[in-house]
Chain A
Amino acid sequence: NAGVMQNPRHLVRRRGQEARLRCSPMKGHSHVYWYRQLPEEGLKFMVYLQKENIIDESGMPKERFSAEFPKEGPSILRIQQVVRGDSAAYFCASSFGLAGGTGELFFGEGSRLTVL
């Protein structure tokens, strides 16, 4: 049973380009979470999604960032017109049901975005 799969593992973009990060949750998991980690810092919550629904996007910047989790296919975190401050590791996690209610978050290995 494969774990949470994220790709790409490393992504380099120039300022103004778009970045798309993908996350396939663990088999049977219907809840996906995106977190951002700046160098030497903690995990900052960005967004929580279920299939076709955004449940909580209180941690998402108001502009340039969007996320989706379609009925079929992976969850995608999209960053438009990237700036240097977007450089970070973006982690996806999935859970079977409600985090806390049914247990742990399973994390992917992360996607490391570098903006030149």
Chain B
Amino acid sequence: GENVEQHPSTLSVQEGDSAVIKCTYSDSASNYFPWYKQELGKGPQLIIDIRSNVGEKKDQRIAVTLNKTAKHFSLHITETQPEDSAVYFCAASRDTGGFKTIFGAGTRLFVKA
């Protein structure tokens, strides 16, 4: 079945450094790749997404890259701040009828002040 692998499971960085989280997916028909941030005790919230017709997308300090040939995509956070500490999930889906979104196992990011 469909699967999304995410690495690392835990990431600790100093404030101001960059953080990179990588994901691979198995369903070659996937064409929509969102990233969600989950803070303690809350539901996940979308922070950025990318579609398969685009290789890179940037929004202020966060950027995503997609390599459809290799079936992997990455999240890059620059100039990390303590409030970036959270669990980050990558996901993959299709924009055809009635398809579920499959999530990676999550990366717990700690930003040390």
Which residues of A does B touch, CB under 8 Å?
4, 33, 35, 41-45, 48, 55-56, 58-59, 91, 93, 98-105, 107-110
Which single residue of chain B is at the shortest CB-CB distance from A41?
A: B105
The 9 nearest A-B residue pairs measured at CB: A100-B32, A107-B43, A101-B95, A100-B93, A42-B105, A100-B95, A104-B46, A43-B103, A55-B98
Contact of A99 among B89, B99, B104, B105 (CB under 8 A): B99
Q: Are A45 and B44 in contact (CB under 8 A)?
A: no
With contacts A91-B43, A100-B94, A101-B32 known, what are 7 further pairs, Cβ within 8 A? A4-B43, A43-B44, A55-B98, A59-B100, A99-B99, A100-B32, A110-B43
Which residues of B does A touch, CB under 8 Å?
1, 6, 31-32, 34, 36, 41-46, 49, 89, 93-106
A102 CA / B42 CA spacing, docked (Å) = 24
Chain B residues with CB under 8 Å of A45's CB are 100-103
If over half of A's interface residues share one DSSP class (helix, strand or loop), that class is named, otherwise mixed; here it is loop
Which single residue of chain B is at the shortest CB-CB distance from A57?
A: B100
Which single residue of chain B is at the shortest CB-CB distance from A92?
A: B43
Q: Are B42 and A109 in contact (CB under 8 A)?
A: yes
Q: Are B43 and A100 in contact (CB under 8 A)?
A: no
Chain A residues with CB under 8 Å of B46's CB are 104-105
Which single residue of chain B is at the shortest CB-CB distance from A95?
A: B101
A44 CA / B91 CA spacing, docked (Å) = 11
Q: Are A98 and B95 in contact (CB under 8 A)?
A: yes
